[in-house]
Amino acid sequence: MSPSVKSHLTSLALVLFMPLSLVSKIQVGEYGDIVGQAKDKKTGSIIEHITIYPQENGDSKKTIARNGILIRHKNAKATILLCHGFMCDKYDVGFFRYFFSKGNLFNFMSFDFRAHGENSISQCCTFGHNEAYDVITAAHFLKNHPHLKDKPLFTYAFSMGAVAAIEAQSKDKSLFDAMVLDCPFDSSENLIKKCLQNLKFSLFGYEFDVPGRSFLEKYAFHPYVQTLVKSILKTVTNLNVHNIQTYVHPLYPAESIKKVSIPCFFIHCKNDQNVPVQAIESVYKGAAGYKRLWLTNGRRHFDSFFYNPETYTERIQQFFSQVISGELFSEPKEIVVKDKDDPTTALVKKQRKENIEKGEPNEAALS
């Protein structure tokens, strides 16, 4: 990591943990509160700690509290809502603010999805199903914020967060002006099937599929089968849930995206071991508006940024800038870019094939 990046990340950490000036709780509509503020003396940016109150699920008006951080820049042209993946929190995605902050063109807000981060006891993660209500509330909070309500609102979301963003926008078309969606799955059913396909056992030197796999796939969403399915997913993906309560609902982002007409930039790793390329192609195909798909040489699930951070950052910034300027709408409605295979890609494929033949689990967890 370069000295300049280290310096910026150090100052970013100081900003996040600098003492907040206590303010009277500022209510932002019915969606949340601003509970603390601080000012970065170096940049003049305003840091707000906020609480939002999404509904617990689609059948209840009861709300839960989720915490977040909002960074406001005086001359920002738009706001980006950062939506993290499974087993992450609002701080884990904070470093993206640095990479997307060239010229302080964007305000940023990150928050804890239910069952993640602060104050998550007794909450349940549903891999995007109920998290959609977290996204809806966070977006309306920003659209009603006194300093941000007149600015375009975008979202950058990955994995579970990308699924939640798709579901949210399909339920409420007024939320975002554009979305960047990295590695969403196409359906919870196919995600489970993909994991179960890798589950085998050995006997006398021979490998066999686990008996009852078709039964598990068919009844995966039944309450009595959920515990077994979650145990299997944990085994297959090396998943360490850190006591996160989970429940897998039937979820079909590839269908929900058909209701989304705003510009979408999809990003996916060709070597994603959890979500195959066919899944993102299905989601991309369904999107109704201007859309872009970039298939990268990332080595595993959600690895496109870490594999090539410079190009990743540049393309996302370009996409959002083109939406703001309107330039995007003078280009072809659909563009697909596929990175050429490189030696690392070939090595990853070879190593993964050998692992499957040995019956070893995938090396990366769902996120």
pLDDT, tens digit, for every residue of 54-69? 999 999 999 999 999 9
* End-to-end CA, the chain: 24
- For 70, 137, 244, 315, the CA distances from 76, given in Å and listed in that order, are 13, 22, 36, 19
- H or E segment at 192? helix 188-197
- H or E segment at 196? helix 188-197
**pLDDT band, very low/low/confident/very high, at 242 (cuts 50, 70, 90):** low
Whichever domain contains 286, its CATH number is 3.40.50.1820
Is residue 218 included in any domain, yes or no?
no
Is residue 210 included in any domain, yes or no?
no
Alpha helices in 220-328 (DSSP H): 223-237, 253-256, 277-286, 304-307, 309-325
Q: Work out how many domains the chain is built from and give that number.
A: 1
Burial bucket for residue 91 (CB in 10 Å: 0-12, 13-18, 19+)? middle
SS3 for 134-179, per residue? Answer: HHHHHHHHHHHCCCCCCCCEEEEEECHHHHHHHHHHHHCCCCCCEE
Core vs surface per residue 18-43: b (16+ CB within 10 A) or e? eeeeeeeeeebeebbbbbbbbebeee
The pTM assigned to this predicted structure is: 0.84
Token pair in block for residue 193: 């099937």
What is the Cα–Cα distance from 258 to 287, expressed in whole angstroms?
Answer: 5
Is residue 48 included in any domain, yes or no?
yes
Q: What does pLDDT average to over the chain? A: 85
Q: What is the pLDDT of residue 109?
A: 98
Average pLDDT over residues 262-272: 96
Average pLDDT over residues 18-23: 58
Of these ranges, 11-20, 100-109, 125-134, 233-242, the one predicted with the greatest mean pLDDT is 125-134
pLDDT, tens digit, for every residue of 138-152? 999 999 999 999 999
Is residue 323 included in any domain, yes or no?
yes
Task: Count each helix (H run) and each strand (E run) in the chain, helices first.
Answer: 12, 15
What is the Cα–Cα distance from 337 to 317, expressed in whole angstroms?
Answer: 16
Is residue 55 included in any domain, yes or no?
yes
Q: What is the pLDDT of residue 189?
A: 86
What is the Cα–Cα distance from 176 to 136, expressed in whole angstroms?
Answer: 10
Average pLDDT over residues 192-204: 63
Average pLDDT over residues 259-275: 95
Average pLDDT over residues 17-38: 82
Q: SS3 of 133, please?
A: helix
Q: What is the pLDDT of residue 103?
A: 78
Q: What is the pLDDT of residue 6?
A: 44
Q: Which residue has the higher pLDDT, 11 or 18?
A: 18
pLDDT for residue 232 is more than 90? no
CB 77 within 8 A of CB 105: yes
Residues of the domain holding 290? 3-190+246-351
Largest CA-CA distance found in the chain, in angstroms, rounded: 69
**pLDDT band, very low/low/confident/very high, at 278 (cuts 50, 70, 90):** very high
Is residue 196 included in any domain, yes or no?
no
**pLDDT band, very low/low/confident/very high, at 38 (cuts 50, 70, 90):** very high
* Across 10-19, 211-220, 226-235, 293-302, least confident range: 10-19
pLDDT for residue 365 is more than 50? no
Average pLDDT over residues 103-115: 94
Pairing of strands 178-182, 264-269: parallel
Sheet with 178-182: strands ordered across: 21-28, 32-39, 46-52, 66-72, 106-111, 78-83, 153-158, 178-182, 264-269, 291-296, 334-338
Is residue 200 included in any domain, yes or no?
no
Q: What is the pLDDT of residue 233?
A: 56
Q: What is the pLDDT of residue 366?
A: 44
pLDDT for residue 362 is more than 60? no
**pLDDT band, very low/low/confident/very high, at 9 (cuts 50, 70, 90):** very low
